[in-house]
Structure 1
């Protein structure tokens, strides 16, 4: 913005003024008017200069110009601009090969290559590659309860009364039913894992989510194994380790007998049999699907309605990876009413993040804990198939 200088205006007016004019001289009147006008203009110019500080405006312009001309350091590059430069340089390299300008080849160099090649700009996928974790789905068919104490006790009737037919005037016999208790303890399943703080911050929460998922899958697998084969000492009691569950002998060491499976099913009381479910692993299920009755009909029936389970002899079948394979002396099949297997949850899986104890190493420790128990409440509701021994 260009400002009119007061000295210039005064100089221009001074040329028209005459000294020594009288009050009645028209020239004196004109000179006086011009002098008043000059004074008014100068005053307004002074006001404008006060409002517009040219010095400050010039300083701001100088700063902007200096910043634009300043050389950029290593950390001043715009990430988006740099990525765009890499893409353009890579496209030129694909078209021109070794004729690519040297400045663009520098943009392509990500790491040294023994063949003097150049790598494409790296890209990180958000998809994780995970191995399948299989576990026995006993929870889906068992009876599950939550508890708030260190254990839970279930009253049990060991025997019934002893009523007898008696004649007139004869004394009745006394009955002495006995009772007991079954106690189910929740056992602790625990582990911990360390994650570097850099990984936690750089992954944007993905690493922690993956660790939590891995812990949940691991705990689910360990639970399923214990519900099937647990010893009952320091871990839940498994279905296959209960000593009072009766058995039906197959009659062969390697080949399943359709007749023996029918015998096994009908060896249970009708009330338990009609609420029963077959339990076996995938290898045994494949063998069962090939079995036929005396009329050539398959024992296995597919589900004709979506969401309905497959059935064997009209009863649903559940595949459990922890069940044993068909072999001499093994128990590959269990049938029964699984509401008689009780699972108690004292504490759902709890994950505690501890960033303090390993802080000197730059590591966050994640502790996972689960308290759960399981036990067969009524062995009479189950029956297993035993392969013969050679």
Structure 2
């Protein structure tokens, strides 16, 4: 028997992946930067080492001293964490009369809406009211000063990361701050920050790739090692076609429900820059 939306309102896992999950990985600023992604719909506890073992020199046949390693853990995807949800209604006339395929339009709209909401949370979420705590709001992250009139402030942030044994993978900057820095010239009128001529459209600051996003407010930036950023993605995001809920209006709807959470495997993985 042929599967249709009438007999199969909830899309199959493979369909959800192609409709939402894979495009979202490309559209989301944070997900596209390459964090470690864990799949889980249940609470997830990730252990991390607080302090390593004390290693010393030991002679032949001498007793090797015991070493203590301190652990703690980050708890992600608690059962109380709220979901990202959206509902798109459309008339059956629109579905029949659309010149452009309605499924393609809705897919783009769904991915855009979810990516915007998700990035707002993953970047600057406060964790209030059972929501996600974003990159900029984790305790233990070092703080530096952002001065868009002085590129040395970026080097100061890099020095902070280096002192914490962190190798940053990306800058995160607002468009206003990035282009303010890009305008700075030396005494001979040459730009201090030059684009990478070998990679068209690639933005770098002092050799570190730069992600420009207006989901960050001007005067707020971050220097991030995304290899130490953990994102937990609900194992079963759902996309459901509601063909009967709005039958009285001769309409259909698509409902999307998904959950994400974020934590730092190393608290110093993010250096937060604030305007002076």
Verify: 1:377 aligned to 2:270, yes or no.
Answer: no
Whether the 8 Å contact between 2:148 and 2:181 is mirrored in structure 1 is no
State the partner residue of 2:144. Answer: 248
* Partner residue, 1:237: 133
Structure 1 residues 1-390: aligned runs within 5 Å: 137-163=29-55, 175-185=67-77, 187-203=82-98, 206-233=101-128, 234-250=130-146, 255-269=148-162, 274-291=167-184, 298-307=191-200, 309-326=202-219, 332-347=220-235, 350-388=238-276
1:317 counterpart SS class:
strand
Query: Distance in 2 between the 1:190 and 1:228 partners?
Result: 18
Whole-Å separation in 1 of the counterparts to 2:236 and 2:66: 48
- The normalised TM-score by structure 1 is 0.55
Partner Cα distance (1:181, 1:340) in 2 = 14
Within 2, Cα distance between the matches of 1:357 and 1:316?
47
Residue equivalent to 1:80: none
Aligned residue pair count:
246
Gapped regions of structure 2 (runs ≥ 5): 1-26
- Decide whether aligned partners of structure 1 residues 308 and 220 sit closer, same or farther in structure 2, where only a CA change above 3 A counts: same
8 Å Cα contact 1:141/1:339 also seen in 2: no
Q: CA deviation at 1:208?
A: 4.2
Quote how far apart the aligned CAs of 1:273 are: 5.2
In 2, Cα distance between equivalents of 1:256 and 1:195: 49
Deviation, 1:228, is 0.6
- Contact 1:273/1:337 (8 A) holds in 2: yes
Q: Distance in 1 between matches of 2:41 and 2:115?
A: 22
Larger Rg: 1
CA RMSD of aligned residues (A): 3.3
Structure 1 contact 158–179 (Cα < 8 Å) conserved = yes
Deviation at 1:346, TM superposition (A): 1.6
Higher relative contact order (CA 8 A, sep 6+): 2
Do the aligned residues in 1 keep the contact of 2:173 with 2:212 (CA within 8 Å)? yes
Does structure 1 conserve the Cα–Cα contact (< 8 Å) formed by 2:164 and 2:268? Answer: no
| SS of aligned partner of 2:115 | helix
Residues 11-34 of structure 1: CA distance to partner in whole angstroms, max 9, x if unpaired? Answer: xxxxxxxxxxxxxxxxxxxxxxxx
**Contact 1:154-1:181 at 8 Å conserved across structures:** yes
